[in-house]
Amino acid sequence: MKVKGIVGALLVVPALTMSLMFASGGGGKDGEEEKKADGAVPVNVPAEYQADVSRAGKICPEISAAVIAVQIGKESSWQPQAKSSKGALGLAQFMPDTWKTEGKDGDGDGAADPMNAHDAIYSQGHFMCSLAAQMKKLIDAGKVKGEVLNLALAAYNAGPGAVEEYGGIPPFTDTQNYVQQITQKVAQAKSGGGGGSGGDGSRGSKILATARSKLGKPYVWGAADDAVGYDCSGLVQVAYAAAGIELAHSSATQCTAGSRVSQDQAQPGDLVCWDGHVALYAGNNTIVEAATEGVPVRETTVYQMAGGPYYVHIN
């Protein structure tokens, strides 16, 4: 779904061969968070992270708490130990090389750890503000056109070099979709319509947390129990039950129980379906699934198979 040229490093274009040691300046000095910025936290941010998101949303006026919340919801569905197939780590899905230059100690324990949620959120705020500052300089120099937030999001996704090269948001479908999705969800969050992980962020977090708690359990056809194991629809059934939603123990029934959405519209916790198989979308082009006999419950990348994949949102 997304590329994230600096943090997720999933898109390779010539403009991105630049060093990540680009000039900072948008975040200000550490400790100077109390600026005129929007620290109001969207309702779908988990309670344990609300103070961190509020603080990250006060670092600079261009990057609000809603922006941070929506980005993190999209990146990891609020899973602090998330690891992508590309090597991105933690709640904010920083790549290790990026963390070396952008990681900060957010909780005062003397260490900057991408798997520490407080550090990750704090660093995300400073990183986005650094990008916003760079975009403002490019606008002032007449090198790019557009709104600072949109350009900063594009730089986050495709790299600041790509934004400068194209004089604005690059013509990459993934980058354009990313900017549109984030800004739309930020607008929804500020108007009280949700945010964080998209409209169903807290539900998706519960679903995925339950599914991930079954990682390593054996695949057993017809099973949906820790003591025995899980099949594909059994895992989905148990995960949704944790969020208060009752689904039948049948992949065919589950995959027709909601509305089809595009991959770009899919939210963490939505279903990913094929002929005779169902999994849970975990964001970042990954799924949690009970795949087949001999393969324990796992988290893996979305793959092609007969009849899919297609995505289903349970209303």
Give me the pLDDT at residue 253, please: 95
Confidence check: pLDDT of 6 > 70: no
The DSSP annotation for the chain comes to ----TTTT-----GGGGS-S-PPP-SS-STT---SS---PPPTTS-GGGHHHHHHHTTSBTTB-HHHHHHHHHHHHTT-TT-B-TT--BTTTTB-HHHHHHH---SSSSS---TTSHHHHHHHHHHHHHHHHHHHHHHHHTTS--S-HHHHHHHHHHH-HHHHHHHTSS-S-HHHHHHHHHHHHHHHHHHTTS--SSSTTHHHHHHHHHHHHTTTTPPB-TT-EETTTEE-HHHHHHHHHHHTT----S-HHHHTTSSEEE-TTT--TT-EEEETTEEEEEEETTEEEE--BTTB-SEEEE---BTTB-EEEE--
Residue 35 or residue 312, greater confidence:
312
Rounded average pLDDT over 296-300: 93
Mean pLDDT value across the chain: 84
Low-confidence winner among 19-28, 157-166, 234-243 (lowest mean pLDDT) = 19-28
| Sign of the CA dihedral with 65 first, then 69, 70, and 75 last | positive
Residue 259 or residue 29, greater confidence:
259
Hunting for tokens 């539900």 — which residue is that? 203
Let me know: does 311 contact 270? Beta carbons within 8 Å.
yes
Rounded average pLDDT over 16-27: 32
Give me the pLDDT at residue 46, please: 82
Q: 233-291, pLDDT tens digit by residue?
A: 999 999 999 999 999 999 999 999 999 998 888 888 999 999 999 999 988 788 999 99
Give me the pLDDT at residue 39, please: 55
Long-range contacts of 137-146 (CB under 8 A, 24+ apart): 137/25, 138/163, 138/164, 143/167, 144/168
Confidence check: pLDDT of 16 > 70: no
The span from the CA of 7 to the CA of 300, in Å, is 19
Rounded average pLDDT over 186-202: 56
Rounded average pLDDT over 82-106: 93
Closest Cα partner for 124 from 6, 1, 288, 23? 6
Confidence check: pLDDT of 212 > 80: yes
Give me the pLDDT at residue 145, please: 94
Give me the pLDDT at residue 91, please: 92
Q: Confidence band (pLDDT; 50, 70, 90) for 40?
A: low
Q: Confidence band (pLDDT; 50, 70, 90) for 188?
A: confident
- CATH class of the region 14-190: mainly alpha
Give me the pLDDT at residue 37, please: 54
pTM: predicted TM-score of the whole model, two decimal places: 0.56
Q: Confidence band (pLDDT; 50, 70, 90) for 76?
A: confident
Give me the pLDDT at residue 155, please: 96
Give residue limits of the domains in the chain: 14-190, 201-313
Share of the chain above pLDDT 70, in %: 82
CATH topology of domain 201-313: endopeptidase fold (from Nostoc punctiforme) (3.90.1720)
